[in-house]
Amino acid sequence: MIDKRVKNAQEAVKDIESGMTIMLGGFGLCGIPENCITELVNKNVTDLTCISNNAGVDDFGLGLLLQKKQIKKMISSYVGENAEFERQMLSGELEVELTPQGTLAEKCRSAQAGIPAFYTPAGFGTEVAEGKEVKDFDGKPHILEHAYKAEFSIVKAWKGDHAGNLIFKGSARNFNFPMAGAGKITIAEVEELVEPGQLDPNEIHIPGIMVQRIFQGENYEKRIEQRTVRKKV
C-alpha cells in the first residue's frame, strides 16, 4: 500500500506555481482546506484561477488570497459574502465566471470520472449559454458543458488514512467529494489521520487511488458564515 503522507501544508503545496488552475473544496466556510489556503497565501503565488463554490469571506478562506490579489480568475456559483470580491469584480481587477451550482458540481464530477463533457438544461437562454453548443433532448434544449481542467485539486476531509482513503463529515462532503480526483494532483488535508485498516471500508467516501498527497491539518477555526439565534425569552 502506497504511503501518501506529507508532513504539512507547506510540503503539500510546494509545487503549486503562479498561473495555475486549482479546485478548492468546501461550501461557504464549511469543509474548506484552511491550512492549504493559508500556505498559498504565504507562498505569494499569483495569477491563480480558482474553482470553488464560493469565494469565502473578506478575512477567511479564499478571501485571504483575494486580499493579496493572488487570484486572477474565480469560477464560482455563489459569491455574495465577500465585499472585496465584489469590489475587484466591479472594478475589473478580477475575472469572474459564474456557473449554476449543479453545473459546477457536475463539471468537477465529470473531470473526476474522466468524462470530457455533458449536456444540461441549466443556464439555457441566459448568459451562461452564450457561445455554447445547444442540442435538444426530448424536445428540451440543453447546452454543452465541458469538464474542468485543473493542475491541483485541494480537499478537506474529516478522516483519512496513509493510503489516501477519505471520509467526509456532514455537509463538508459537498464539493470536496466531486473535486477529489478531479485535478491532475489531489491534495487532502484531514482533521484526523489514521493507520491503514482503521477506517471502516463501508464508510469511505473517496478511495485512496484518487488522492496523491495527504496530511493532518491543525488549528481549524470552523467559522460559521451566517449565525442565526433565537431571542432569549
Indicate whether this model's pTM tops 0.85: yes
Do 23 and 108 touch, CB atoms closer than 8 A? Answer: yes
Residue range(s) defining the domain that contains residue 193 = 9-115+149-216
Per-residue pLDDT band for 228 (boundaries 50, 70, 90) equals: confident
Lowest mean pLDDT among 69-73, 81-85, 158-162, 167-171: 81-85
Q: What does the alpha-carbon distance between residue 12 and residue 5 come to, in Å, rounded to a whole number?
A: 9
Per-residue pLDDT band for 227 (boundaries 50, 70, 90) equals: confident
What domain count does the chain have?
1
Query: Given this model, what pLDDT does residue 223 score?
Result: 79
Q: What does the alpha-carbon distance between residue 23 and residue 108 come to, in Å, rounded to a whole number?
A: 9
CATH classification of the domain holding 75: 3.40.1080.10
Residue 226 has pLDDT above 80, yes or no: no
Per-residue pLDDT band for 222 (boundaries 50, 70, 90) equals: confident
- Residues in the chain, how many? 233
- Where does residue 32 fall: left (phi above 0), alpha (psi -120 to 50 degrees), or beta otherwise? beta
Provide mean pLDDT across the span 117-133: 95
Residue 122 included in any domain = no
Provide mean pLDDT across the span 50-67: 92
CA distances from 85 to 34, 63, 81, 131 (A): 18, 8, 9, 26
Residue 78 has pLDDT above 90, yes or no: no
Of residues 60 and 222, more confidence is placed in 60
> Strand order of the sheet with strand 134-137?
117-120, 140-146, 134-137
Query: Given this model, what pLDDT does residue 18 score?
Result: 97
If one counts every other C-beta atom within 10 angstroms of the C-beta of residue 149, the result is 14
Handedness of CA 73, 56, 38, 69 (dihedral sign): positive
Contact partners, residue 29, CB within 8 Å, separation at least 6? 56, 57, 60, 61, 222, 223, 224, 225
Query: Given this model, what pLDDT does residue 44 score?
Result: 95
Residue 138 included in any domain = no
Q: What does the alpha-carbon distance between residue 216 and residue 208 come to, in Å, rounded to a whole number?
A: 15
Of residues 10 and 27, more confidence is placed in 10
Determine the 3-state secondary structure of 187 from DSSP.
Answer: strand
Per-residue pLDDT band for 25 (boundaries 50, 70, 90) equals: very high
135: enclosing H helix or E strand: strand 134-137
Residue 233 included in any domain = no
Per-residue pLDDT band for 168 (boundaries 50, 70, 90) equals: very high
Residue 1 has pLDDT above 80, yes or no: no
- Any idea what the Cα angle at residue 112 is, between residues 107 and 114, rounded to 5°? 90
Query: Given this model, what pLDDT does residue 70 score?
Result: 97
Residue 20 has pLDDT above 80, yes or no: yes
Across the chain, mean pLDDT equals 94
Do 28 and 2 touch, CB atoms closer than 8 A? Answer: no
Query: Given this model, what pLDDT does residue 221 score?
Result: 85
Residue 121 included in any domain = no
The number of CA neighbours under 13 Å toward the Cβ of 40 is 35
Residue 82 included in any domain = yes
Q: What does the alpha-carbon distance between residue 226 and residue 233 come to, in Å, rounded to a whole number?
A: 22
